Amino acid sequence: MGRIRILPDQVANKIAAGEVVERPASVVKELLENSLDAGAGELRIEVESGGRRLVRIADNGCGMLRDDALLAFERHATSKLRDVKDLLSIATLGFRGEALPSIASVSRLLLDTRSAEETTGTRIEIAGGRMLRCEEAALGRGTVVTVRDLFYNVPARRKFLRSEQTELAHIASLATHYSLAHPEKTFELRSGTNELLHVTPVGSLKERVYQVFGSQALDELVELGTREKDLFVAPGQEEDEPPVRTFRLTGFFSRPQVQKANRNSIFIFVNGRLIRDRLLLHALSSAYHNLMPPAAYPFALLFIECDAEEVDVNVHPSKTEVRFRHSSFLHDFVRDTIRERLVESRPAPWFSPAPRAGSPAGAAAQPAAQLPYSEFSQMIENQPAAPLSELPAAREEAPAGDMPAFELRPAAAPAPRLNFSAPPLEVTPGPAPSGKLSRHLDAHGEFPPEAIPPPEMSLSVLSELRPLGQIHESFIIAAGRDGLWIIDQHVAHERILFEQVLKQRAAGRVETQRLLMPLIVQLTPEQQIDYARIAGELHASGFETEPFGNRTIAVKAAPAAVGAADVEKILFEILETAEDELRGASLEDLRRHICAGIACRAAIKINTRLDAAKMEWLLRTLAQTDCPMSCPHGRPVALHYSTREILKAFHRI
Ligand code: ADP
Ligand code: MG
Question: Which of 107-121, 215-229, 234-248, 570-584 has the least mean pLDDT?
Answer: 570-584
462: confidence class by pLDDT, cuts 50, 70, 90? confident
Q: How far is the CA of 35 from the centre of ligand 2 (A)?
A: 8
The confidence score (pLDDT) of residue 424 equals 26
How far apart, in whole angstroms, are the C-alpha atoms of residue 530 and residue 521? 14
Contact assessment for residue 635 and residue 420, using Cβ atoms and an 8 Å cutoff:
no
For residue 142, which atom of ligand 1 is closest to its CA?
24
423 or 474: which leads in pLDDT: 474
How far apart, in whole angstroms, are the C-alpha atoms of residue 186 and residue 605? 55
Domain boundaries along the sequence of the chain? 9-197, 218-233+242-362, 508-602
For residue 101, which atom of ligand 1 is closest to its CA?
6
* CA of 109, nearest ligand number: 1
Please state, for a pLDDT cut of 90, what percent of the chain lies above it.
34
The confidence score (pLDDT) of residue 454 equals 57
Beta strands (DSSP E) in 437-549 are 466-471, 475-480, 483-488, 512-522, 544-547
The confidence score (pLDDT) of residue 256 equals 83
The residues lining ligand 1, judged by C-beta closer than 6 Å to any ligand atom, are 3-4, 30, 34-35, 38, 59, 61-64, 72, 77-80, 94-100, 143
Q: How far is the CA of 100 from the centre of ligand 2 (A)?
A: 7
Q: Which CATH superfamily is domain 9-197 in?
A: Histidine kinase-like ATPase, C-terminal domain (3.30.565.10)
For residue 57, which atom of ligand 1 is closest to its CA?
23
Mutate to test the pocket of ligand 1, among 62, 67, 75, 100 (most ligand atoms within 8 A of CB): 100
Q: Is the pLDDT of residue 284 over 50?
A: yes
Q: How far is the CA of 68 from the centre of ligand 1 (A)?
A: 9
Q: Which long-range contacts (CB under 8 A, 24 or more apart) does 438-442 make?
A: 441/651, 441/652
Contact assessment for residue 192 and residue 222, using Cβ atoms and an 8 Å cutoff:
no
For residue 62, which atom of ligand 1 is closest to its CA?
25
The confidence score (pLDDT) of residue 251 equals 95
Give me the residues near ligand 2 (ion), CB cutoff below 5 Å: 34, 94, 99
626 or 404: which leads in pLDDT: 626
333: confidence class by pLDDT, cuts 50, 70, 90? very high
Contact assessment for residue 197 and residue 171, using Cβ atoms and an 8 Å cutoff:
no
The confidence score (pLDDT) of residue 382 equals 44
For residue 115, which atom of ligand 1 is closest to its CA?
25
Q: Is the pLDDT of residue 94 over 80?
A: yes
Q: Using one digit for the tens of pLDDT, what is the confidence trace for 339-357? A: 989 887 765 544 443 333 3
Q: Using one digit for the tens of pLDDT, what is the confidence trace for 291-313? A: 888 788 899 999 999 998 899 98
Q: How far is the CA of 34 from the centre of ligand 1 (A)?
A: 5
The confidence score (pLDDT) of residue 526 equals 73
* CA of 116, nearest ligand number: 1
376: confidence class by pLDDT, cuts 50, 70, 90? very low
The confidence score (pLDDT) of residue 483 equals 86
Q: Is the pLDDT of residue 404 over 60?
A: no
Q: Is the pLDDT of residue 374 over 60?
A: no
The confidence score (pLDDT) of residue 88 equals 78
The confidence score (pLDDT) of residue 584 equals 63
How far apart, in whole angstroms, are the C-alpha atoms of residue 134 and residue 629? 64
DSSP state of 166: H
Mutate to test the pocket of ligand 1, among 34, 105, 146 (most ligand atoms within 8 A of CB): 34
459: confidence class by pLDDT, cuts 50, 70, 90? low
Q: Using one digit for the tens of pLDDT, what is the confidence trace for 507-531? A: 888 888 888 778 888 887 777 777 8
Residue nearest to atom 18 of ligand 1 (CA): 34
| CATH fold group of domain 218-233+242-362 | Ribosomal Protein S5; domain 2 (3.30.230)
Q: How far is the CA of 251 from the centre of ligand 2 (A)?
A: 26
Contact assessment for residue 287 and residue 335, using Cβ atoms and an 8 Å cutoff:
yes
How far apart, in whole angstroms, are the C-alpha atoms of residue 219 and residue 356? 14
The confidence score (pLDDT) of residue 97 equals 85
Contact assessment for residue 101 and residue 129, using Cβ atoms and an 8 Å cutoff:
yes
152: confidence class by pLDDT, cuts 50, 70, 90? very high
Residue 206: its H or E element = helix 205-213
The confidence score (pLDDT) of residue 489 equals 94
The confidence score (pLDDT) of residue 445 equals 55
Q: How far is the CA of 310 from the centre of ligand 1 (A)?
A: 24
User: What integer is the mean pLDDT of 251-276?
Assistant: 87
Residue type, 386: A
pTM, 2 dp:
0.61
Length reported for the chain? 653
Counting Cα atoms < 13 Å in the Cβ hemisphere of 78 gives 24
The confidence score (pLDDT) of residue 398 equals 30
Contact assessment for residue 195 and residue 188, using Cβ atoms and an 8 Å cutoff:
yes
User: Which residues are within 8 A (CB) of 284 and not within 5 positions of it... i.e. 6 or more apart?
Assistant: 253, 266, 268, 298, 300, 302, 334, 335, 338
Q: Where are the alpha helices (DSSP H) in 245-314?
A: 278-287
Q: Which CATH superfamily is domain 508-602 in?
A: MutL, C-terminal domain, regulatory subdomain (3.30.1370.100)
**Helix, strand, or coil (residue 502):** helix
User: What integer is the mean pLDDT of 254-271?
Assistant: 85
End-to-end CA distance of the chain: 68
Residue 184 neighbours by CB distance under 10 Å = 10
For residue 98, which atom of ligand 1 is closest to its CA?
6
Side by side, which strands form the sheet with 121-127?
130-137, 121-127, 108-114, 142-148, 54-59, 42-48, 186-191, 194-199
The distance of Cα 461 from the centroid of its chain, to the nearest Å, equals 29
The confidence score (pLDDT) of residue 437 equals 33
452: confidence class by pLDDT, cuts 50, 70, 90? low
User: What integer is the mean pLDDT of 430-435?
Assistant: 35
Q: Is the pLDDT of residue 608 over 80?
A: yes
Q: Using one digit for the tens of pLDDT, what is the confidence trace for 186-209? A: 999 999 988 889 999 999 999 998
User: What integer is the mean pLDDT of 397-412?
Assistant: 27
How far apart, in whole angstroms, are the C-alpha atoms of residue 563 and residue 61? 70
The confidence score (pLDDT) of residue 392 equals 33
* CA of 77, nearest ligand number: 1
426 or 577: which leads in pLDDT: 577
Side by side, which strands form the sheet with 544-547?
512-522, 552-559, 544-547
* CA of 4, nearest ligand number: 1
Residue 49 neighbours by CB distance under 10 Å = 17
Q: Is the pLDDT of residue 643 over 50?
A: yes
